[in-house]
Amino acid sequence: MTLALAVHPDVQAALDAGRAVVALESTIITHGMPFPQNVDVARAVEATVRAAGAVPATIAILNGQLHIGLTDAQLMDLAQATDVAKVSRADFAAVLARGGYGATTVAATMIAAHLAGIHVFATGGIGGVHRGAEDSFDISADLQELAQTPVTVVCAGAKAILDLPKTFEVLETLGVPVFALGQDTLPAFWSRDGGLPAPLRADTPADVAKAAQTQRALGLQAGHLVCNPIPEDAEIPRAVILPMVDQALAEADDRAITGKAVTPFLLQRIYELTDGASLDANIALIKHNAHVAAQIALAMSQTPAQADP
């Protein structure tokens, strides 16, 4: 059997013509932000991609069908839906097979983008090695996906809900190229400087496109992770956000929250603890990432790779 993808006509037209397309995830909509801000943000991010000259493809499972690009009505429907599964590599097929709604994480969005022939994907933050992973073994499937699926993921770094040094050690072990954009240190989501040296630095979207295409020419199947610092005017100082992250982590521990529920719980609590201020920063950085991802996709479309795997 082959899987029938529901590809939005605008996305299909762009792919057929070799024009720039940027994949967008949907877990951020259903498990990362409250309604109606989530749909506003999803629309604004799509508009940013279009304004930069690329076509957005928000990826989600609706009624058991894998959608590559959503209509506005579908986006609205997903943003309000309850009982949406958070889908990663392990449960992707099972959710499609049983039907219903699914929101794709970074890992699942990479799988879907690659299936559809999309090379670039913009998100906010990736999953990683959770603090206390030495006991819980909680390491996001996003990291393993970056090691095996050739999609360039643009994020703002990783949130302090994670163990950042361990997250980047694992990425190195897995052979994932990690770039900081325009600086020598890794950004850490709400702050531009996470205090860790960046493994690689790229100064322009074209540099990233060239590195990704060279990696494919080498025959390596890994993705690329591009860490794009949050715009200066939207930055939240670490001293402000860290105590709230610590509180959210302590609460998760008290309530014995585990597995897939951990990340959504922490994101929701930080939103509440900052009185919604974390959301403004999220919106600014996601739009910025969408803009950069569109520029990378444009650069790739101008010098297409020789062979498409």
Residues that bind Mn ion (CB under 5 A): 138
φ/ψ of residue 172, rounded to 5: -65, -45
287 is known as an active-site residue: no
Site for ligand PSU in 199-258 (CB under 6 A): none
Q: Which two tokens stand for residue 33?
A: 């932000």
* C-alpha radius of gyration, the chain, whole number: 18
159 is known as an active-site residue: yes
Q: Which among 274, 275, 255 has a CA at the least distance from the CA of 265?
A: 255
Q: Binding pattern to ligand PSU, positions 75-94, x when CB under 6 A?
A: -------------x------
Question: Under the criterion CB under 6 A, does residue 263 sit at the interface with ligand PSU?
Answer: yes
Q: Which two tokens stand for residue 45?
A: 């991010």
DSSP symbols for 253-301? HHTT--GGGHHHHHHHHHHHHTTTHHHHHHHHHHHHHHHHHHHHHHHHH
Site for ligand PSU in 17-56 (CB under 6 A): 25, 27-28, 32
In terms of CB distance, is 56 or 124 closer to ligand PSU?
A: 124
Instruction: List Cβ neighbours of 92 (8 Å cut-off, separation of 6 or more).
Output: 102, 104, 108, 111
Q: How far is the CB of 264 from Mn ion (least distance, A)?
A: 10
Q: Binding pattern to ligand PSU, positions 105-144, x when CB under 6 A?
A: xx-----------------xxxx------------xxx--
Question: Under the criterion CB under 6 A, does residue 152 sit at the interface with ligand PSU?
Answer: no
Peptide bond preceding 237 in cis form (omega within 30 of 0): no
Question: Under the criterion CB under 6 A, does residue 159 sit at the interface with ligand PSU?
Answer: yes
Residue 32 binds which one of ligand PSU, Mn ion, none, with CB within 5 to 8 A depending on kind?
ligand PSU
Q: Are 279 and 37 in contact (CB under 8 A)?
A: yes
Binding site for ligand PSU (CB under 6 A): 25, 27-28, 32, 88, 105-106, 124-127, 140-142, 159, 260, 263, 267
- Could you give the residue numbers annotated as active site? 25, 159
